[in-house]
């Protein structure tokens, strides 16, 4: 148990120190600064801070993005279908699964956009970059969890059903014995009900 906790902490530390995570944090920081600057009294007293440009460099407080990157922090990649670009940097057609003026927005079939519209957060049990895939493993685990949740309830609802079924079966057998008995009586054959029951059970 302790090993598991240690391992989880370890993973957590690694995740926080990964460069990807760091740049996201920086973007978040910068964005909160931007919000401050929008307030008039801050604009006068503070000097403009250079923004963080993930795929580009800051010039006069604005990010100048590398080729095919866009966004206030050049954090969004364009996903154009061809090499063709308009003068404003947009492209005539986007790759499948992307949309937006600069093909910078990802399309999530069964999920929501996150992380500046560049990634999908999939609804279960969908997976894949565009949440358009169904993995057998994921489906199994999804339904297993559902069954696990329904388990106790399902069992309770099964009890009256079983009783009903067993009752029906029992009375049906009784009726069958009676019916066959009457039929045999009509033909002048005398058989004990118990014997008949035993005979019918073996059918």
Ligand X SMILES: *[C@@H]1O[C@H](CO)[C@@H](O)[C@H](O)[C@H]1NC(C)=O
| Cα angle value 154/159/165 (rounded, 5°) | 120
CB-wise, 52 or 94, nearer to ligand X? 94
**Could you tell me the smallest distance in angstroms from the CB atom of residue 85 to ligand X?**
9
The strand pair at 119-122 and 111-114 is best described as antiparallel
User: Can you tell me the distance from the alpha carbon of 67 to that of 85, in angstroms, rounded to the nearest whole number?
Assistant: 11
**Stretches 22-30, 83-91, 109-117, 144-152: which one binds ligand X (CB under 6 A)?**
83-91
**Could you tell me the smallest distance in angstroms from the CB atom of residue 109 to ligand X?**
25
**Could you tell me the smallest distance in angstroms from the CB atom of residue 105 to ligand X?**
12
CB-wise, 89 or 128, nearer to ligand X? 89
CB-wise, 88 or 136, nearer to ligand X? 88
User: Can you tell me the distance from the alpha carbon of 114 to that of 125, in angstroms, rounded to the nearest whole number?
Assistant: 18
**Could you tell me the smallest distance in angstroms from the CB atom of residue 86 to ligand X?**
4
**Could you tell me the smallest distance in angstroms from the CB atom of residue 30 to ligand X?**
23
User: Can you tell me the distance from the alpha carbon of 90 to that of 86, in angstroms, rounded to the nearest whole number?
Assistant: 5
88 touches ligand X (CB under 6 A): yes
CB-wise, 75 or 104, nearer to ligand X? 104
Secondary structure (3-state) at 53 = coil
Which parts of 92-121 interact with ligand X (CB under 6 A)?
101
Contacts for 155 with CB less than 8 Å, ≥ 6 apart: none
Bridge partners (DSSP) listed for residue 56: 65
Contacts for 73 with CB less than 8 Å, ≥ 6 apart: 27, 30, 51, 52, 53, 54, 63
CB-wise, 82 or 88, nearer to ligand X? 88
Whose structure tokens read 């999908």? 120
Q: Residues in contact with ligand X, total (CB under 6 A)?
A: 4
Binding residues vs ligand X (CB under 6 A): 86, 88, 90, 101
């Amino acid at each position: 148990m302790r090993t598991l906790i240690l391992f989880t902490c370890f993973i957590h530390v690694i995740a926080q120190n990964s460069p990807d995570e760091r740049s996201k944090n920086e973007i978040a920081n910068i964005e909160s600064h931007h919000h401050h600057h929008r307030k008039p009294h801050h604009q006068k007293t503070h000097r403009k801070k250079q923004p963080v440009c993930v795929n580009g460099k800051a010039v006069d407080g604005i990010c100048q993005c590398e080729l095919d990157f866009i966004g206030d922090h050049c954090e969004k990649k364009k996903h154009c279908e061809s090499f063709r670009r308009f003068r404003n940097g947009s492209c005539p057609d986007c790759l499948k699964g992307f949309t937006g003026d600069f093909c910078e927005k990802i399309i999530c079939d069964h999920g929501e956009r996150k992380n500046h519209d560049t990634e999908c957060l999939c609804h279960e049990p969908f997976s894949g970059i565009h949440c358009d895939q169904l993995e057998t493993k994921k489906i199994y685990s999804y339904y297993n969890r559902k069954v696990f949740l329904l388990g106790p309830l399902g069992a309770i609802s099964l009890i009256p059903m079983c009783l009903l079924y067993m009752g029906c079966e029992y009375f049906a057998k009784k009726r069958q014995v009676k019916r066959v008995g009457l039929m045999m009586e009509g033909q002048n054959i005398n058989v004990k009900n118990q014997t008949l029951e035993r005979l019918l059970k073996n059918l």
